[in-house]
Amino acid sequence: RGSKPAGRKGYRRDPATESQRIMGFGGAFPEAAAYTLSRMSEENRRRALRRYFDPDDGLAYNIGRIPVHSCDFSLGNYTYIEEGDTSLTSFDLSHEEQWLFPTIRDARDIRGDDIRLLASPWSPPAWMKSNREMNNGGKLLPEYRELWADYLLRYVREMRELGFDLWGLTVQNEPAAVQTWDSCIYSGEEERDFVRDFLGPRAQASGLGDLKILVWDHNRDIIVDRAKAVLSDPEAAKYVWGVGFHWYVSEEFGNVGEVHRLFPDKHLLFTEGCQEGGVHLGSWETGERYARNMIGDFSNWCEGYLDWNLVLDETGGPNHVGNLCDAPIIADTAKDRLIFNSSYYYIGQFSRHISPGALRIGLDSISDGRETLLAVAFRNPDGSLVAVVLNETDEPGTIAITVGGETADLDMEDRSIATIVFRPLGSGP
């Protein structure tokens, strides 16, 4: 996570043929979110999960991200094995039964279907690293690469045995940043070698060949170079499903599209974004940031969107190193009330109307006499067409938008977002 974006580039409005298929939308289940929900009344705990995962009354979330053991949004550093256990005989996931697993199970029950889960490690155990701590960067020691790969695959296998739909794994969260919290540094070449020589072949050999491996899992600014470092090697690339990315530092959306251009057989997934710097109650700029980034990334072959923390408390935590952030739903644990930020509603303009399996399509045209509106369009599996339009300016206006030969006139208020749905005849209201 970083500073203010350096600039945004790469929006596309061309009336192209159908492009990528959309996987869906979701958020992350770190320990902090599950713990915070446990501090609420059962009514509000269930309400928060329902407002995300209910396909009718919520945001219709269908995917989720979970840290492999601790991250900054945990109550402290922890792993699933005892120190020095090179045989993994002490491997134990019971730590997660207190808060995390019940939260995922309840979210799944509310959705009425499985939630497709992506796991990400923030750091190997301290004794496997060059700096001998989970925080403050450091590197995975070469002699532990095989053991760390086995640890990650053991996690995948046991999660599946517990009934969780763990479909994907990123190699490392934010591998180019030395963070004061749980972190680990990989160069592009080190990530390539770990996938090619350890994680990929050992997944195949252990019957986990269906596991989707994602590389990078960091910002857009150097995504092209990092993707090249791994995917230009055919032996590494054959194990890689796609590239994950975050929104911090850069809004150069064209970099995402460039990865698709270079490696069109690989997938692109937005794996994390949030408003930094604690809670921002009442800020509509936060919602606009979500919409701007979603339009920019979907216009450049992104296939799904994973927000960061589902829920945080009134401080923007808990976070064991004080890296407080915002979330779409803030749980005021002192007053047992839920506060819905603008980001919650802006995400809903997409997730409630763009179904899993939708195809991005080009806009035939959008006209308002100005080149200030941002928009993206999709064709849902049921044949309906969806266009989302964002006006970040202080100027209202009337627009005409044409998608798939269908045209609508729309009054756009200043600083507003609109979703237009064209339904096929006979499909209902």
CA 182 to chain centroid: 18
Query: Angle, to 10 degrees, between the axis of helix 31-38 and the axis of helix 100-111?
Result: 80
Going by C-beta distance under 8 Å and a sequence separation of 6 or more, which residues neighbour residue 209? 203
Closest CA to 206 of 152, 167, 285: 152
In the chain, the amino acid numbered 224 is V
Phi-psi region of 74 (alpha: psi -120 to 50; beta: other; left: phi over 0): beta
Pair 196, 239: CB distance under 8 Å: yes
Pair 311, 37: CB distance under 8 Å: yes
Active-site residue, from 96, 174, 190, 303: 174
Closest CA to 278 of 253, 312, 310, 233: 312
Q: At which residue do the structure tokens 């004080």 appear?
A: 322
Closest CA to 287 of 321, 253, 336, 326: 326
Query: Encoding tokens for residue 237?
Result: 């690339």
Is 272 marked active-site?
Answer: yes
Closest CA to 2 of 248, 348, 226, 217: 248
Name the helix (H) or strand (E) containing 132. Answer: none
Going across the sheet that includes 329-332, the strands are 311-313, 329-332, 337-340
Pair 306, 26: CB distance under 8 Å: yes
In the chain, the amino acid numbered 207 is G
Q: State the DSSP string of 391-425.
A: E-SS--EEEEEEETTEEEEEEEPTTEEEEEEEPPT
Active-site residue, from 31, 96, 191, 272: 272
Tell me the CA end-to-end span of the chain in Å, nearest whole number.
42
Query: Encoding tokens for residue 222?
Result: 């150097």
Is 285 marked active-site?
Answer: no
Which residues participate in catalysis according to the annotation?
Answer: 174, 272
